[in-house]
């Protein structure tokens, strides 16, 4: 009888811990756009970028990726972002996708432009972009460049 109570108690503890992990995962899975400025960025490819990913300026997280989809007319990847409302961006702002490292994920980097340019408003498009770099393709090109040269 004593073993049944201990097993039941341990099972309850495991369920509480598992429930708290699930709550944490679901509460942080979707990004809220409340209070942030929203912008649209179009890329030729967004390999490794995902909804909820970071948007950084100078290595500091200032926002998140809220949505991404394919523009069926131009075939560009459209990424919607939400950033801190205190950050003011100009039309010459540059957006690029970069990786956290060789094995890390990708995130979006914003390089604010000149203050003298016209300022972007909530909902505007950032037009200066650079898509994701295909490191495996570059490595394959580099590794395969020496093949067949001995003829």
pLDDT exceeds 70 at position 32: no
Whether residues 126 and 101 share a domain: the answer is yes
User: Can you give the residue range of the structural domain that contains 21?
Assistant: 1-30
- What confidence category does residue 25 fall into, taking pLDDT thresholds of 50, 70 and 90? confident
Distance between CA atoms of residues 144 and 132, nearest Å: 21
Look up residue 149 and give its DSSP letter. T
3-state secondary structure of 73: coil
Residues of the chain above pLDDT 90, percent: 32
3 domain residue, yes or no: yes
Whether residues 14 and 47 share a domain: the answer is no
Whether residues 21 and 55 share a domain: the answer is no
Whether residues 72 and 99 share a domain: the answer is yes
pLDDT exceeds 80 at position 20: yes
Distance between CA atoms of residues 34 and 94, nearest Å: 24
150 domain residue, yes or no: no
Beta bridge partners of 57: 60
Whether residues 14 and 52 share a domain: the answer is no
Segment 35-52 shows an average pLDDT of: 87
- What confidence category does residue 132 fall into, taking pLDDT thresholds of 50, 70 and 90? confident
| Tally of domains in the chain | 2
């Amino acid at each position: 009888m004593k073993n049944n109570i201990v097993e039941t108690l341990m099972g309850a503890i495991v369920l509480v811990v598992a429930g708290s992990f699930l709550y944490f995962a679901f509460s942080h899975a979707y990004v809220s756009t409340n209070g942030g400025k929203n912008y649209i960025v179009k890329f030729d490819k967004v390999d490794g970028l995902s909804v909820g990913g970071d948007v950084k300026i100078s290595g500091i997280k200032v926002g998140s990726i809220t949505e991404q989809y394919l523009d069926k007319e131009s075939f560009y990847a459209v990424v919607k972002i939400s950033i801190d409302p205190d950050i003011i961006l100009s039309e010459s702002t540059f957006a690029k996708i970069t990786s956290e490292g060789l094995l890390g994920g990708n995130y979006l980097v914003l390089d604010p432009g000149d203050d003298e340019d016209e300022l972007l408003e909530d909902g505007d498009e950032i037009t200066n972009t650079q898509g994701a770099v295909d490191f495996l393709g570059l490595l394959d090109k580099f590794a395969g460049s020496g093949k067949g040269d001995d003829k």
